[in-house]
Amino acid sequence: MPPIPANLVLIGLRGSGKSTLGRAVARATAMTFVDLDTLTPGVLGRADVREAFSRDGEAAFRDAEVAALRAVLKKDHQVVALGGGTPTARGAVDMLSRERTAGRAAIVYLRAEPETLRLRLAADDNTQRPSLTGAGVLDEIEAVMSRRDPMYLALADEVLNVEEFTQDALVRRLAEIAAGGLE
């Protein structure tokens, strides 16, 4: 049986369920839930992602994201929901890969089809989500996915296609992974 990772790290596009599932897994496993999208704006002295993105720009936001991630990964026993773009930030993939190689993190890609993401984001309050391409948040999903999907696939220890499971089944599987159950 593989060693129990110190942290469970969730990656995926916005709307894939990282925060929702992360909270549920943390409750089910008595781990601490950390949402990087909540911490990163504070590194820049901003109230939320949209303000940080618009006032400081994407490059500064990504640097702040890496700083927040570095601080988070110093602790153990956490379910960490990364921002969708965290793996695109300079140094993030190397940091995550080192944690995984050291057995300190299991990385799971919550993969969702564009239509699922569109439905979820349309039902959500998108005012906190900045455009990444200049198109609307709902209109840019395929473009963002085509750029990020290969990176997520290369980084992940396991890929869970969210349409294939109920939320309860996803939480159970993620809890198994947190307990050292990578296949």
Q: What end-to-end distance do the CA atoms of the chain give, in Å?
A: 9
DSSP class of residue 149 equals H
Q: What are the tens digits of pLDDT across the range 56-72?
A: 998 999 999 999 999 99
5-16 mean pLDDT: 93
Whether 17 is in a domain gets the answer yes
DSSP class of residue 34 equals E
29-34 mean pLDDT: 96
Whether 183 is in a domain gets the answer no
What residue numbers bound the domain in which 84 lies?
7-178
Regarding pTM above 0.85, the answer is yes
Whether 19 is in a domain gets the answer yes
Cβ–Cβ under 8 Å, residues 176 and 116: no
pLDDT > 70 fraction of the chain, expressed in percent and rounded: 91
- What confidence tier does 2 reach under pLDDT thresholds 50, 70, 90? low
The CATH number for 23's domain is 3.40.50.300
Whether 116 is in a domain gets the answer yes
pLDDT averaged over every residue in the chain: 90
Lowest mean pLDDT among 10-24, 70-84, 110-124: 110-124
Distance CA 13, CA 116 (A): 11
Q: What is the pLDDT of residue 136?
A: 66
Whether 1 is in a domain gets the answer no
How many domains does the structure of the chain reveal? 1
Q: What are the tens digits of pLDDT across the range 150-169?
A: 999 999 999 999 999 999 99
137-152 mean pLDDT: 86
- What confidence tier does 125 reach under pLDDT thresholds 50, 70, 90? low
